Structure 1
C-alpha cells in the first residue's frame, strides 16, 4: 500500500516489529509514550486492531496531534472502560445483566441487586484475564486483589452470571449508518473452568432465526447512543432464557482473525478500510455503503485451539495443513522447544485454523480432518492438541 510502518509495543521483539519499517519500545496502553512515539516518528495515522485497551490511547493521541480518528476519545473511553460502558447501557435501556462496580472495602449491600453466582472482571483488561465465576461474596473478597492485578484501576465489575450462548457481531459504521458484516457464535470453554475464553467462532450463528432482527436493532441503537459514527465495530451478546443481553462492545476489528474471515464472506477488505481510514477519513466508502447484510457461502469455523501443558518436541508443518483446500488460513502461537503452560486465559492459545465448507456436513467433516492432521507433541510423543469441532450443530 506504500506506507512506512512504525510498530510500538512494550516488547523488545514481536511479530509486528519483525515486519515493520521502524520498531519502537513504547507501551500501547500508555498515552504519553505513544504520543511521544508519534511525535518523534512524525506519523500521519495511528491504528490498533484486535485488542481493546489501546483504542482509547489511539483516540487520545489522535486528538492531541489533530490526526484522523474514527471515534472521539469520549466514545473510546465508553467502549474501553466497563464502568462507563455498563452505566451507559443502563442510561439508554440497552439490555445487560445486573451488575455493580465495587471497591475493595465494599459493603455487602452494594451487591444486593446482583444475585449469585457472580462473575467478576477488571474494568479495563482484555483476553479474559482476571475473570472468575464465584458463588459467594467471601470469594469475591478473596479474589479482589488478583483481579486488580490485571487492571490500572481500584474498582472491579461484579455481574450476575447469566447462563448463555455468546454471539459476536462484526460490522462497520459509515457516515453514521451501521452495516453488519457477520454474526457468529462465539464458543467458549465451560464457565466452570475458564470463563469467557474463546475456542471457536462459528459462522453463521445458529441463533439467527430467533434473534437476528433484535440483534441488528440493538447494534444500531448502541452505535447511536455511544456516538459511533465511523469505523469498525465488534459487539458481544449473550443469549439465554431471558433473551438477548449485551456483554461488551468494542470499536475495532475483532481479535479472532475477522480481518481474514470478513473478506472471505463479504469481499470487503476491512483491514484495508481501517488502514486507509486511520490517515484519511475521506477514504473510499463505496463498498461498505453498497453492502447489504445476508448470510453468504462459504460457511466457516475459526478454530482457536489450545493444548494441554507440555514442552513441544514435534509440530505438524503448516504446509501439510494448508494442502487441504478447506483450510483457508492457520497459524501457530508457539514453536519447537517452547513450553505450553496450563490454560488460564486466552494468552495460552496455541494457534488457529480457519476452516471452510459449503454446507454443515462438509464443514464438520473438514474440521475433523484438519484435527486428524494437526499434531503438537511433547517429548513423550503425546499429542497435546485439544480437539475442536463444529460446535452447537452436533
Structure 2
C-alpha cells in the first residue's frame, strides 16, 4: 500500500533538474505542483498543476498552499530557494530538514568555514573582503587566489586571480554577484585534487552514501573551470572514513543537522582534506541515481517522503554504502555559450554498453549564457564500467556520436574529459575492498 498516494507536493522552482523530482514524486503517486515567476519553466510543463507565483513571495505561497490543500513543500538544487522553503514550511507546520541557522551556514561561505573550523575540520585558507576594504586585503595575499561571492552558487561570480594587477577589477566583478556585498578570497588549490562526499541524515544519525573525485577543464584561465565528470567512489574514501567521519558526525550534531541530504566539496592535499563548500540540499549531477542502482534505495523519494510526512524509511537509508560494487563515472558534457540549433546522437549514446542513463538539461532553442559554469552543462551521462579501458572506449564513442550545434552551424560542446586523468577506486570488477 502506498501511503503517499494522492498527497499534494508543491515544488519551489521549475528549473530543468526539478523535472527529476517531479518524476520521482509521481512514482510514489504524489500529485505535483510547481511554482516560480516564469511562465514556461521546464518542471511546470510536466507537473499536475503550476502557478505563476515567485518562490520568494512567502505570503502568497502560504495562501496558495492553504487554498490548494498542499501537504508539503520541497525545493532542491538551488541554495537561494532554501530560506524561503523553510519559512513557508514553518508557517504551515510542514516538515523541513533544516533550521534558519544551519541552512544559512551551508549557504554563506564564511559561516560554512567557521562551522568547519569549530569542530577541527580544515578548510581552504581564506579571507573576507567587501567594497570598502578589498584593496587593503590585497597586501595580505599570496597569489594566485580564487575570488568568489560569499552567498552565491553554481560558479557565478567566481574568478581566478594570478596577480595583484588584476585583483581589484576581479573583486569588483565578483562583488556584483553578492547580495551581502562580500567576497571570499581563497588560496588557489590544485583542481586535480577536488572531491565530494554525500550524506543522508535522519533522526540525528548520518549515513555516508557516496564519495567522488571531480575532473574539470579550464576553458578560461580567469574563471571557474567547467566540470568534466566525477568518478565514484573517491580514491580517498578509506582515508576519509578513518580521518573525517568522527569530525563530520560532530559537525552535524553541533549544528542540529538531524535530517535531510548534505554534500560537501573540498580538496585533498598532502594527506589532508580541506573543505570549501557545502549544500544542505540535493546536489547537481543526479548522482542519487547511482545510489538507487547500487545501494537499492532512492534518496530523492526519501526526501519527498520526509517533506510530506516528517518521516523517512530507516530500513532504506541504512542501505547506504559508499563502496559501490563497480566503478561508476558521471560524465559531464558542457557547452560554449550560444543558442542550440540542433542535437544529434543522444539515442545512439543511450544504447552504448555501460551507459546507465542520459540526463539532458538543455534542448534545441535554449540560449546558453556564459554566466556560471553549472548553467553550461548540456547533459550528465551516467556510466557504469568494469575498467578504465572500458571507460576510455565509452567516452570515445560518446564524443563521436554527440553533435550539438549553434545557429551558426558551429560545434557548441567543450572537450570531454581525457581518460588519462581519471583514477578509479576499483581498477577491476573482481577487485575486493
TM-score, structure 1 normalization: 0.89
Return closer, same or farther for 1:4/1:32 CA change in 2, 3 Å cut-off.
same
Query: 3-state DSSP class of the match of 2:35?
Result: strand
1:274 Cα deviation after fit? 0.7
Structure-2 residue corresponding to 1:53 = 80
Q: Which residue of 2 aligns with 1:306?
A: 334
Corresponding residue of 1:347: 375
**1:2 corresponding residue in structure 2:** 29
Whether 2:271 is the aligned partner of 1:271: answer no
Matches within 5 A, 1:1-394: 1-28=28-55, 31-32=58-59, 34-106=61-133, 108-110=135-137, 114-136=141-163, 139-164=166-191, 165-190=193-218, 192-208=221-237, 210-241=239-270, 243-289=272-318, 291=319, 293-309=321-337, 311-340=339-368, 345-378=373-406, 382-389=410-417, 390=419, 391-393=421-423
8 Å contact from structure 2 (residues 330, 381) kept in 1: yes
More deviation, 117-126/361-370: 361-370
**Distance in 1 between the 2:339 and 2:136 partners?**
48
Shift of 1:183: 0.5
Report Cα offsets for 1:84-120 as digits up to 9, x if no partner.
2222223333211222222201165546654322211
- Distance of 2:46 and 2:407 partners within structure 1: 32
Contact 2:113 2:276 in 1 (8 A): no
Deviation at 1:203, TM superposition (A): 1.2
Aligned-pair CA distance for 1:7: 1.0
Q: Could you tell me how far apart the structure 2 residues matched to 1:219 and 1:97 are?
A: 17
Distance 1:114 1:101 in 2: 11
1:5 counterpart SS class: strand
Worse overlay, 57-66 or 212-221: 212-221
1:103–1:155: 8 Å Cα contact kept in structure 2? yes
Q: Which structure 1 segments of 5+ residues have no match?
A: none
2-structure distance, mates of 1:280, 1:36: 20
How far apart are 1:255 and its partner, in Å? 0.8
1:187-222 CA-partner distances (Å, limit 9, x unpaired): 222383542542212112223354442243443333
Cα–Cα, structure 1 residues 380 and 59, in superposed 2: closer, same or farther, change >3 Å?
A: closer
Partner Cα separation in structure 2 for residue 232 and residue 7 of structure 1: 21
- Tell me whether 32-41 or 173-182 shows the greater mean CA deviation: 32-41
**Runs of 5+ in structure 2 lacking a partner?**
1-27, 425-433
| Equivalent residues of 1:100, 1:111 under 8 A apart | no
